[in-house]
């Protein structure tokens, strides 16, 4: 094991240089989180611009073209530069600690994976500085909308940015898988790994097998746009549906890439704040693996209305996903049942996740039914669904994770009162924004439109959604203030403020560069609980 003599000396170089050149998984993890939250704020500004334009019928602030750029860049930033990397950031920080490893398997590749992301953000956003503006065909960039004759160089910059992000994801996934299989501490068998590590492992396999297909699709789109290719142009023998197939072959597994580690965070938080072990540990792991496997067989449910896919198969497989997801809900609820609940901020966000993700799952099941989907396709119903799973799901889990692991990362606790104020505003604002979108979708409002008929009956609900959007923005202010005052004068956390179960709580806060002076004996999936209570397992 590492000893204190390995502590690296940083006295001769500045703190900034240290952060720019670090290969320490903890610092890289924090860089991931910081960059992702910055992108969350930028993407949020684009969301507010969209909501502002939609608050009343008519075009008040934007042209149609500007509106298209706003919603395209909002979605692209949130999906590719916030949700996916923020979860990778948690994985980076926490996975080596949870398995008792000194670092990731390939620390320099890890740093490279991170630094591709700010570069990609600059490339994508630089589209606004070009003549034709940024990418504007939606984050799905369907052909023929994405073809050269409709847009300037913004779409090409978007393609390059996504290629960089994809490379970052693939290298990160390889790093996670090798780390998890090769770097575990003695005694940390696969079935003693924390659930968070399992979800990161399954997510990494999804990234490894799905992201390269997106890379190939993006390259084909780039060739079509710039080199005179004919992949997606039906007039010259190409096939526009080919883009949708290759795009969704990545982008459907990607929604599990965006939710599985969030489920992992929730599954770490609920046991600690319920003072019980996770109910059905093995069932949870098999459910995670099942979601990962089924995730590869449902991509065409985004394409029901194209008439080019076999509807019964993809509808049936989509409904099947509800089974492992239902198993997980059973795990979570049974974990809380008769537990000694402590309603600290992480648990509030975890409960927020459970309720909102449940709604997102149910309204998703509606769209899995082919006849219903034909009515709801490309309406605001779909917008409601994706925000209930990705905001109500992933974002709430991100804040649960931030409040839960902040004391470990920085040695200080975030303020609980400010955290709860933030939660209340975010929860109310979230539902005000996105619940009306169900009604808008059912009454036929299409997504991705800048203007609508004032007599369509959509005015009040759109205004409500805009008020909700600004309430969410308001809820970010207590968070930023919380971060600021915690860095200045936060309450010292101690090594194990929550009486945690997993190995990250067995080292100091923040941990030393080599992570552990010594490890407790690992005889279950809760080694720190065992050490605290002197349990002789089994």
Partner 1 sequence: MALQVSDHDEVVGHGAEEQGISNVILGMILFICSEVMFFAGLFAAYFNVRANSPVWPPEGNEHFHVASEIALPLIITTLLIISSFTCQLAVWSIRKGDRTGLIRNIAVTLVLGVIFLLGQGYDYTQLGFTLADGTFGTTFFTLTGFHGAHVLGGVLMLSVVLYRAMAGQFSSKHHDMVEAVSLYWHFVDVVWICLFSLLYLVPTH
HSE-up (13 A, CA, CB side) for residue 209? 15
Site for partner 1 in 432-461 (CB under 8 A): none
Q: Are 401 and 90 in contact (CB under 8 A)?
A: yes
Tell me which residue of 246, 249, 367, 241 sits closest to 307, measured CA to CA. 241
Interaction residues for partner 1, span 159-188 (CB under 8 A): 170, 173-175, 177-178, 181-188
- Confirm if 201 and 180 have CB atoms less than 8 A apart: yes
Q: 282 vs 338, which CB is nearer to partner 1?
A: 282
x/- mask, partner 1, residues 93-112, rule CB under 8 A, reads: -------xxx--xx------
How far from each other are the two terminal CA atoms of the chain, in whole angstroms?
27
Residues in 495-534 at the binding interface with partner 1, rule: CB under 8 A: 521, 523
- Judged by CB, which is closer to partner 1: 230, or 420? 230
Number of residues in contact with partner 1 under rule CB under 8 A: 49
Q: Shortest approach of partner 1 to residue 536 CB, angstroms?
A: 9
Beta carbon nearer to partner 1, 96 or 360:
96
How far is the C-alpha of 396 from the C-alpha of 472, rounded, in Å?
A: 12
| Residue 200 CB, nearest approach to partner 1 (Å) | 14
Distance, CA of 351 to CA of 128 (rounded, Å): 39
Give least dist CB 241 to partner 1, A: 8
Q: For residues 204 and 433, which CB has a smaller minimum distance to partner 1 in the complex?
A: 204
Q: Are 87 and 258 in contact (CB under 8 A)?
A: yes
Token pair, residue 124, equals 């994508």
Taking the C-alpha atoms of residue 73 and residue 508, their distance in angstroms, rounded to an integer, is 40
Please report how close the Cβ of residue 234 comes to partner 1 at its closest, in angstroms: 9
Query: Alpha-carbon distance 179 to 106, whole Å?
Result: 8
For partner 1, the closer of residues 6 and 129 by Cβ is: 6
| Four-point Cα dihedral 122, 66, 136, 125, nearest 10 | 0
Q: Which is nearer to partner 1, 180 or 386 (CB)?
A: 180
Distance CA 380, CA 168 (A): 32
Stretch 208-237: interaction string toward partner 1, x if CB under 8 A: xxxxxxxxxx-xx--xx--xxxxx----xx
Binding mask 241-260 for partner 1 (x = CB under 8 A): -x--xx--x-----------
State how far the Cα of 34 lies from the Cα of 159, in Å rounded to an integer: 24
Q: By the 8 A CB rule, do 344 and 500 touch? A: no
Minimum Å distance from CB 232 to partner 1?
9
**Omega before residue 265 within 30° of 0, cis:** no
What percentage of the chain's residues is helix, strand, coil (to nearest 5)?
70, 0, 30
Task: Report in angstroms how near the CB of residue 390 gets to partner 1 at its nearest.
Answer: 24
Tell me the three-class secondary structure of 349-367, residue by residue.
HHHHHHHHHHHHHHHHHHH
Interacting residue with partner 1 among 189, 342, 355, 417 (CB under 8 A): 189
Of residues 298-337, those binding partner 1 (CB under 8 A): none
CB of 24 to partner 1, least distance (A): 16
Looking at residue 8, the DSSP 8-state letter turns out to be: P
**Identity of the residue, 231 or 279, whose beta carbon is nearer to partner 1 in the bound complex:** 231
Nearer to partner 1, 185 or 440 (CB): 185
CA quadruple 241, 246, 251, 256: dihedral positive or negative? positive
State the nearest-atom distance from the C-beta of 345 to partner 1, in Å. 35
Q: Is 144 in the site for partner 1 (CB under 8 A)?
A: no
* Contact set with partner 1 (CB under 8 A): 100-102, 105-106, 170, 173-175, 177-178, 181-189, 208-217, 219-220, 223-224, 227-231, 236-239, 242, 245-246, 249, 521, 523
């Amino acid at each position: 094991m590492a000893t204190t003599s390995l502590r690296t000396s940083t006295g001769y170089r500045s703190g900034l240089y240290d952060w720019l050149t670090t290969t320490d998984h903890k610092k890289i993890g924090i860089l991931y989180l910081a960059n992702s939250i910055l992108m969350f704020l930028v993407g949020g500004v684009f969301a507010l611009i969209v909501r502002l334009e939609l608050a009343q019928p008519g075009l008040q602030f934007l042209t149609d073209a500007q509106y298209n750029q706003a919603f395209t860049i909002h979605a692209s930033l949130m999906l590719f530069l916030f949700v996916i990397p923020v979860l990778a950031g948690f994985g980076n920080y926490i996975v080596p600690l949870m398995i008792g490893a000194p670092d990731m398997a390939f620390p320099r590749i890890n740093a490279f994976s991170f630094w591709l992301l700010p570069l990609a953000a600059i490339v994508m956003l630089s589209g606004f500085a070009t003549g034709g503006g940024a990418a504007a065909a939606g984050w799905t960039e369907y052909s023929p909308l994405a073809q050269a004759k409709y847009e300037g160089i913004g779409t090409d910059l978007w393609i390059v940015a996504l290629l960089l992000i994809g490379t970052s994801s693939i290298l990160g996934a390889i790093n996670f898988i090798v780390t998890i299989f090769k770097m575990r501490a003695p005694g940390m068998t696969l079935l003693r790994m924390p659930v968070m590590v399992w979800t990161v492992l399954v997510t990494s396999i999804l990234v490894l097998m799905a992201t390269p297909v997106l890379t190939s699709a993006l390259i084909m789109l780039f060739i079509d746009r710039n080199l005179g290719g004919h992949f997606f142009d039906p007039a010259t023998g190409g096939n526009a549906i080919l883009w949708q197939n290759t795009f969704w072959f990545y982008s459907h597994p990607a929604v599990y890439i965006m939710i599985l580690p969030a489920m992992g965070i929730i599954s770490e938080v609920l046991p600690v704040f319920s003072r019980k072990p996770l109910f059905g540990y093995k069932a949870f792991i098999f459910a995670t693996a099942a979601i990962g496997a089924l995730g590869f067989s449902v991509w065409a449910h985004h394409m029901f209305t194209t008439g080019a896919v076999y509807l019964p198969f993809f509808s049936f497989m989509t409904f099947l996903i509800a089974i492992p997801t239902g198993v997980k809900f059973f795990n979570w609820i049974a974990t809380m049942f008769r537990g000694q609940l402590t309603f600290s901020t992480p648990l509030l966000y975890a409960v927020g996740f459970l309720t909102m993700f449940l709604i997102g799952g149910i309204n998703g099941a509606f769209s899995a039914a082919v006849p219903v989907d034909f009515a709801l396709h490309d309406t605001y119903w779909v917008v409601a669904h994706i925000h209930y799973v990705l905001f109500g799901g992933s974002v709430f889990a991100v804040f649960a994770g931030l409040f839960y692991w902040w004391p470990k990362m920085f040695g200080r606790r975030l303020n609980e009162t400010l955290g709860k104020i933030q939660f209340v505003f975010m929860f109310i604002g979230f539902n005000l924004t996105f619940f009306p979108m169900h009604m808008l979708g059912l009454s036929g409002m299409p997504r991705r439109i800048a203007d609508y008929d004032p007599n369509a009956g959509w005015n009040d609900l759109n205004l409500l959604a805009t008020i909700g959007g600004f309430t969410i923005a308001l809820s970010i202010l207590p968070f930023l203030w919380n971060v600021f005052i915690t860095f200045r004068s936060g309450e010292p956390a101690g090594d194990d403020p929550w009486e945690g179960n997993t190995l990250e709580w067995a080292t100091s806060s923040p941990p030393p560069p080599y992570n552990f002076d010594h490890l407790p004996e690992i005889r279950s999936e809760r080694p720190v609980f065992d050490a605290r209570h002197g349990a002789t397992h089994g």
